[in-house]
Amino acid sequence: MRLFLTAIIACCAISVLAAPLSTQHKTLKPSKDTFYTASNSFESKPQGSSPYLIAYDNAGVRSFTLIAFDLPQEVIGNSSRVAKCTMTLGKFAFPPTGSVNIFLTATSAGWDEKTVSGLNAPAVMGETVQIVVTDTLVPITFDSTYLCSVAASSGGGSMSVRLDSPQALYSTASRENGGQASLLIEY
């Protein structure tokens, strides 16, 4: 009987040890968002209270959207904990025809949506991710695991990205205006 109980306990212990760690999922909304223009024009003033996010290239005057999400404590400083990230951005307010390339780059998170401008824009980190948007009439959803990992390894606590849309005007509602941006993180 004793041998039988020992075998059952050993079997259960092996099952518990072999069980995969549970994956947690969180859907995050932006903690801050804005846009800035990389010039000394009127548009380079802070746009933190704007109801819209804008990215475009107008005759060499470029505007960029910034979006930040506060990461779960478990992944900050530990990018290996990030299993997968999926970002959703709002659809184009004025949809262009055909497919459009947009570009996202992780940035330092130390910016304030009320003061950031083309003169003090956050530094970019890591490689730029190109997204081919084939349907501009719906929200844009894509794998953003690389961007999450860059942010998690920086230890700053937030995932901040800069969006660039040089081919077509990207304009969508900001978080203050019911924007659709979100980040699903699995860790």
pLDDT at 41: 60
Alpha-carbon torsion 100, 106, 111, 112, what sign?
positive
- Is the model's pTM score more than 0.75? yes
Chain segment 13-30, per-residue pLDDT in tens: 444 444 456 799 999 999
Nearest to 55 by CA among 159, 167, 142, 131: 167
- pLDDT(146) > 70: yes
Domains in the chain: boundaries:
23-186
Q: Which fold has domain 23-186?
A: Jelly Rolls (2.60.120)
Chain segment 89-145, per-residue pLDDT in tens: 999 999 999 999 999 999 999 999 999 998 899 999 999 999 999 999 999 999 999
Chain segment 168-184, per-residue pLDDT in tens: 999 999 999 999 999 99
Token pair 């184009």: residue: 92
pLDDT at 44: 73
- pLDDT(7) > 50: no
Averaged pLDDT of the chain:
88
pLDDT at 9: 43
Region 68-90: mean pLDDT is 97
Q: How far apart are CA 76 and CA 62, in angstroms?
A: 32
pLDDT at 89: 98
- On whether the CB atoms of residues 38 and 64 are closer than 8 A, the answer is yes
- On whether the CB atoms of residues 91 and 172 are closer than 8 A, the answer is yes
- pLDDT(42) > 80: no
**Helices (H), ranges, the chain:** 2-18, 145-154
